[in-house]
Amino acid sequence: MSFVPAYLKLSPDELRDKVRNAEEILKECVLCPRHCRVDRTSGELGFCRTKNKPFVASWGPHFGEERPLVGRFGSGTIFFSYCNLGCIFCQNWTISHLGEGSEMSFEKLAKLMLSLQQTGCHNINLVTPTHQIPMILRSVAIAVNMGLNIPIVYNCGGYESVESLKILDGVIDIYMPDFKYSNPEMALKYSKAKDYPEAAKTAIKEMHGQVGDLIIDERGVALRGLLIRHLILPEGAAGTGEVVRFIAEEISRNTYLNIMDQYRPCCEAFEHPPLDKRITKKEYKEAVEMAINAGLKRIDGVTIWK
């Protein structure tokens, strides 16, 4: 039996209800844990500086994502402008902080999804989608009627509201959150979100409850499930030990984890040691060993011998 994305199992009425519920939140926005409570439908701006229309920076097949997302024909990424986090080291600074991109209609966003599917992409990869959930849902509803039929990836920073995630239940097949920090002080200092660790833990539990462990088909392509990213920061600033412990003990030892070694200082990071330097090979090796010792079995790019 061929794989059917979750959103195609919803009735039109169920999908419409999700769109309606998400759009209602915009009137006193609590889409993310910041709870800005601004009326985005009347042009008020909260932390994310986004109104109530899709705001997109770029799109196209992406071959630099995790292997189960890329497959042979790439991951169909759509980069949304602005962000609900304020990471001082963001490598997409012009998009997340400066708002590179432009507003577009729901119909155009739907057509972008279809064009990525038509090029052969294995999924629709929504990058930094948290603050644009209602716009995405309305566009997905349009795209479904145009023939969209590949998995949707929710590629986020991990700073999520469980209430918003519940609206996404039955729409998203693959959740790919970051788990950036385990220390609230580091989260406040580097991303302006002291409650990030607890918010991320709660969100990841909800995500796993919805989609389970990552399922990969015979082609090596992800179909459904949870994939977590953790970026190693210099001198242990990310709190990797607690991150991998939480994943192994409170989510699943079968969680697919990408321990990322590509940190490089950029933007405001130069003003905040130790983020003003790259990580060492030793720091990356130690992080991988922490994950293995915690009992994690599926680490992207790492072969674990039993």
Residue 306 in any domain: the answer is no
Predicted confidence (pLDDT) at residue 12 exceeds the cutoff of 80? yes
CB 40 within 8 A of CB 51: yes
Mind listing the pLDDT tens digit for each residue in 169-197?
Answer: 999 999 999 999 999 999 999 999 999 99
Based on DSSP, count helices (H) and strands (E) in the chain, helices before strands: 10, 10
Residue 304 in any domain: the answer is no
Other CB atoms within a 10 A radius of the CB of residue 232 amount to: 20
Residue 1 in any domain: the answer is no
- Amino acid of residue 50: T
The CATH number linked to 19 is: 3.20.20.70
Residue 115 in any domain: the answer is yes
Residue 201 in any domain: the answer is yes
Query: Containing domain of residue 162, as a range?
Result: 6-299
pLDDT classification of 1: cutoffs 50, 70, 90: low
- pLDDT for position 2: 84
Predicted confidence (pLDDT) at residue 238 exceeds the cutoff of 70? yes
Number of independent structural domains in the chain:
1
Residue 127 in any domain: the answer is yes
Separation of alpha carbons 249 and 247, rounded Å: 6
- pLDDT for position 304: 66
Q: What value does the mean pLDDT take over residues 87-111?
A: 95
Beta strand 152-156 pairing with 55-62? unpaired
Residue 305 in any domain: the answer is no
**Among candidates 147, 148, 98, 94, which has minimal Cα distance to 126?**
148
**Among candidates 152, 248, 142, 234, which has minimal Cα distance to 204?**
248
Residue 155 in any domain: the answer is yes
